[in-house]
């Protein structure tokens, strides 16, 4: 960087008599800041600054600096070489200068020449195919007004307006944008590295640091996309109020926040895998992301969570074993599996795993015809127009009563009270989806009670079983290492069936030699009984200890259950107890993880399958990263056990 004296020596005689040193300093900073714009007007064969500035840039500098046109021309003539080589990362603009730039730049007549302090260009300067230089003369240029959301140096949040410029190579027909280029209707990101700023839609950009902040709010405080948007919008509104600017068209939506979260997660995943993100250019923003989100979900299902084979000093203990292992010690690893009542809308057909077309649909596309059937259980008659029941008077009365009850003021008041009592995200210990009321979730109706609190006798009229409400998945099943790292997750649709838990364990540990030495489960007595019915399952789990976790064995399992007492009592295995008589492993860790995961109940309850899976997998991945980093800090030596994946 040149000294003040060197800069003065570069200026033509008489210039310093006509302008001040602060004006010279601002001229240099403006030219360096807009150097990428100036380069668009440099001939392809040259790499030096143009002799004269383009007219619109010249007039822009005149307007911002508030000096005469000849003086700007003289300053450029003397300082153009210094400006061309000046490090751009050393340039800073004040808030007042930024406001002036935006005011003057937005007044430029031609839309593709308008300027702002915030400008976005393709990161390359030549076509990736034909190597022709990106310039206004050889390329078709397009410039659009955009909003840019970011963090500030002081830790605040900010939103501002700017412009994004794209170029289309006339020979190759490839259009280049800030983050990606489009070739054959495919958006191809430039490199595996996560860019500093990400374009989340045509007219909106988000700083990656802000996307990371959104993710951290979701991870540590269970903040929804809507509340992330509320936080940003409130901050921007306060900032604009102090500067007397209008913040109405700078607000961000919950969809944009979620889109930033997803894109950041996908780009991080690609960087970690050493691949480049590809997205279709056709369709709307969510359709483009959907395919990539579903691909990552399938990848996790096929390959497992990254920490699938995690081990550390907390979940793996050395076990003395003569003639085996290293120095007579063999690693002894334990995990816990458990379910949590966290769910999303799914098809009403029992155990149907096909996705719903919308989050308000009751059936998947394959079973859509069942929507025309009466919702009273056991009735196969068709519904009448405007109703969910058939013409049978008894069935119609159930629906009529349900509608009347839903409109009743006392019912709505009770629901409102329940809503505030049960869905506050500060209560991170909520673990059941039933804790959050849903106006649709009334699966039983009795038109004879009419709101009365009088209990019917057990021999009296029993309410008809109905199917008015949307169905939800039953629970999420987790496998958690005894240190707290989550090894796997699966959605259970109809129930937490023992056969489903077995299949889940075999999918997470898809080779018997990958299985941990101990798997705690609160229903291991039923699981063991189920495994014994199939010799193949017996052989698969033959080297695994399957006790009930300590808490549930003491509080939930009857002492008269001979099978459980004989085969699932954790005290049966001395390997689970240390020399001081204490349990080696935290067998209640899954309950603690469930308390964290339950905090997302109200956030995910209306998500479609592809969003639901991506969100939970990303939260689990981020939490695991945090846990592993903490283990390194605490000296717990985390590592990955080599897998034996392949034919059994």
The pLDDT of residue 464 is 65
In the structure, what pLDDT confidence band is assigned to residue 469 with cuts at 50, 70 and 90?
A: confident
Average pLDDT over residues 493-510: 94
Q: Which residue has the higher pLDDT, 171 or 530?
A: 530
The closest alpha carbon to 507, from 477, 535, 547, belongs to 477
pLDDT tens digits, 327-367: 556 899 999 999 999 999 999 998 999 999 999 999 999 99
**End-to-end CA separation in angstroms for the chain:** 65
In the structure, what pLDDT confidence band is assigned to residue 154 with cuts at 50, 70 and 90?
A: low
CA distances from 640 to 307, 310, 470, 634, 643 (A): 7, 5, 41, 17, 9
Average pLDDT over residues 618-638: 97
Based on the number of CB atoms within 10 Å of its own CB, is 571 exposed (0-12), middle (13-18) or buried (19 or more)?
A: exposed
The answer on pLDDT for 403 being more than 90 is: no
Neighbouring CB atoms inside 10 A of 420's CB total 8
Based on the number of CB atoms within 10 Å of its own CB, is 82 exposed (0-12), middle (13-18) or buried (19 or more)?
A: middle
Regarding beta strands 204-207 and 329-340, do their DSSP bridges make them parallel or antiparallel, or are they unpaired?
unpaired
CA distances from 328 to 320, 573, 578, 639 (A): 6, 19, 17, 21
CA distances from 500 to 223, 477, 490, 507, 582 (A): 31, 9, 10, 10, 32
Q: Which residue has the higher pLDDT, 40 or 405?
A: 40
The pLDDT of residue 560 is 61
CA distance 105 to 119: 11
pLDDT tens digits, 315-324: 999 888 765 5
- Cβ proximity of 544 and 518 under 8 Å: yes
The pLDDT of residue 432 is 43
- Cβ proximity of 301 and 489 under 8 Å: no
The pLDDT of residue 399 is 85
The answer on pLDDT for 286 being more than 80 is: yes
In the structure, what pLDDT confidence band is assigned to residue 561 with cuts at 50, 70 and 90?
A: low
The answer on pLDDT for 456 being more than 50 is: no
Mention every residue, 6+ apart, whose C-beta is less than 8 A from residue 110. 56
Total length of the chain: 648
421: tokens are 């009592």
Average pLDDT over residues 507-511: 95
Regarding beta strands 310-311 and 204-207, do their DSSP bridges make them parallel or antiparallel, or are they unpaired?
unpaired
Q: Which of 138-147, 284-293, 443-452 has the weakest average pLDDT? A: 443-452
The pLDDT of residue 595 is 93
CA distance 120 to 118: 7
- Cβ proximity of 576 and 585 under 8 Å: yes
Mention every residue, 6+ apart, whose C-beta is less than 8 A from residue 278. 186, 187, 188, 189, 292
Q: Which of 121-125, 215-219, 404-408, 631-635 has the weakest average pLDDT? A: 404-408
Q: Which residue has the higher pLDDT, 599 or 18?
A: 599
Average pLDDT over residues 578-586: 90
The pLDDT of residue 46 is 80
pTM equals: 0.88
In the structure, what pLDDT confidence band is assigned to residue 43 with cuts at 50, 70 and 90?
A: confident
CA distances from 258 to 36, 141, 621 (A): 31, 30, 17
The pLDDT of residue 90 is 82
The answer on pLDDT for 437 being more than 60 is: no
pLDDT > 70 in the chain, percent? 84
143: tokens are 């410039």
Q: Which of 125-134, 302-311, 453-462, 469-478 has the weakest average pLDDT? A: 453-462
In the structure, what pLDDT confidence band is assigned to residue 424 with cuts at 50, 70 and 90?
A: very low
Average pLDDT over residues 443-451: 39
The pLDDT of residue 442 is 41
The answer on pLDDT for 543 being more than 90 is: yes
């Amino acid at each position: 960087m040149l000294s003040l004296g060197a800069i003065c020596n570069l200026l033509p005689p008489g210039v310093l008599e006509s302008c001040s040193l602060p004006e010279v300093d601002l001229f240099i900073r403006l030219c360096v800041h807009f150097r990428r714009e100036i380069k668009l007007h440099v001939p392809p064969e040259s790499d030096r600054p143009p002799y004269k500035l383009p007219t619109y840039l010249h007039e822009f500098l005149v307007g911002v600096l508030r000096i005469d046109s000849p003086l700007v021309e003289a300053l450029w003539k003397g300082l153009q070489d210094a400006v061309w080589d000046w490090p751009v990362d050393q340039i800073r603009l004040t808030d007042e200068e930024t406001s002036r730039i935006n005011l003057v730049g937005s007044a430029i007549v031609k839309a593709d020449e308008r300027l702002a302090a915030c400008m976005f260009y393709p990161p390359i300067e030549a076509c990736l195919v034909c190597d022709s230089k990106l310039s206004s003369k050889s390329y078709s240029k397009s410039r659009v007004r955009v909003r840019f959301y970011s963090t500030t140096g002081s830790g605040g949040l900010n939103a501002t307006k700017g412009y994004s410029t794209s170029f289309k190579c006339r020979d190759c027909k490839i259009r280049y944008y800030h983050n990606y280029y489009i070739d054959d209707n495919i958006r191809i990101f430039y490199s595996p590295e996560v860019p500093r700023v990400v374009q989340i839609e045509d007219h909106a950009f988000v700083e990656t640091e802000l996307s990371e902040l959104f993710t951290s709010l979701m991870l540590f405080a269970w903040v929804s996309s809507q509340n992330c948007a509320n936080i940003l919008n409130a901050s921007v509104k306060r900032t604009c109020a102090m500067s007397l600017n209008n913040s109405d068209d700078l607000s961000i939506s919950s969809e944009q926040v979620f889109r930033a979260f997803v894109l950041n997660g996908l780009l991080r995943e690609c960087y970690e895998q050493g691949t480049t993100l590809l997205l279709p250019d056709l369709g709307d923003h969510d359709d483009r992301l959907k395919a990539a989100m579903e691909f990552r979900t399938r990848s996790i299902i096929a390959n497992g969570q990254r920490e699938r084979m995690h081990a550390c000093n907390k979940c793996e203990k050395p076990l003395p074993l003569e003639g085996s292992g290293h120095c007579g010690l063999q690693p002894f690893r334990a995990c816990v599996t458990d379910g949590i009542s966290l769910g999303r809308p799914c098809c009403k057909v029992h155990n149907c795993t096909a996705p719903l077309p919308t989050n308000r649909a009751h059936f998947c596309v394959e079973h859509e015809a069942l929507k025309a059937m009466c919702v009273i259980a056991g009735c196969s008659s068709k519904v009448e127009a405007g109703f969910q029941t058939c013409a049978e008077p008894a069935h119609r009365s159930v629906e009529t009563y349900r509608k009347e009850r839903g409109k009743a003021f006392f019912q709505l008041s009770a629901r409102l009270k329940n809503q505030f009592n049960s869905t506050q995200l500060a209560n991170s210990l909520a673990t059941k989806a039933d804790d959050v009321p849903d106006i649709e979730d009334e699966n039983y109706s009795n038109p004879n009670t009419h709101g009365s609190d009088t209990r019917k006798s057990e021999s009296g009229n029993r309410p008809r079983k109905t199917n008015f409400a949307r169905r939800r998945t039953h629970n999420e099943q987790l496998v958690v290492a005894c240190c707290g790292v989550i090894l796997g997750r699966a959605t259970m649709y109809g129930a937490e069936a023992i056969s489903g838990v077995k299949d889940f364990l075999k999918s997470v540990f898809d080779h018997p030699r990958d299985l941990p030495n101990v798997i705690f489960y609160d229903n291991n007595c039923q699981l063991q009984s189920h495994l014994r019915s199939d010799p193949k399952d017996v052989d698969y789990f033959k080297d695994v200890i399957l006790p009930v976790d300590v808490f549930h064995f003491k509080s939930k399992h009857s002492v008269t259950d001979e099978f459980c007492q004989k085969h699932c009592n954790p005290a049966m295995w001395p390997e689970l107890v240390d020399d001081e008589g204490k349990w080696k492993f935290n067998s209640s860790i899954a309950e603690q993880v469930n308390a964290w995961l339950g905090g997302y109940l109200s956030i995910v309850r209306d998500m479609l399958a592809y969003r639901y899976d991506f969100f939970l997998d990303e939260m689990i991945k981020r939490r695991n990263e945090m846990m592993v980093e903490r283990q390194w800090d605490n000296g717990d030596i985390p590592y990955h056990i080599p897998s034996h994946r392949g034919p059994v």
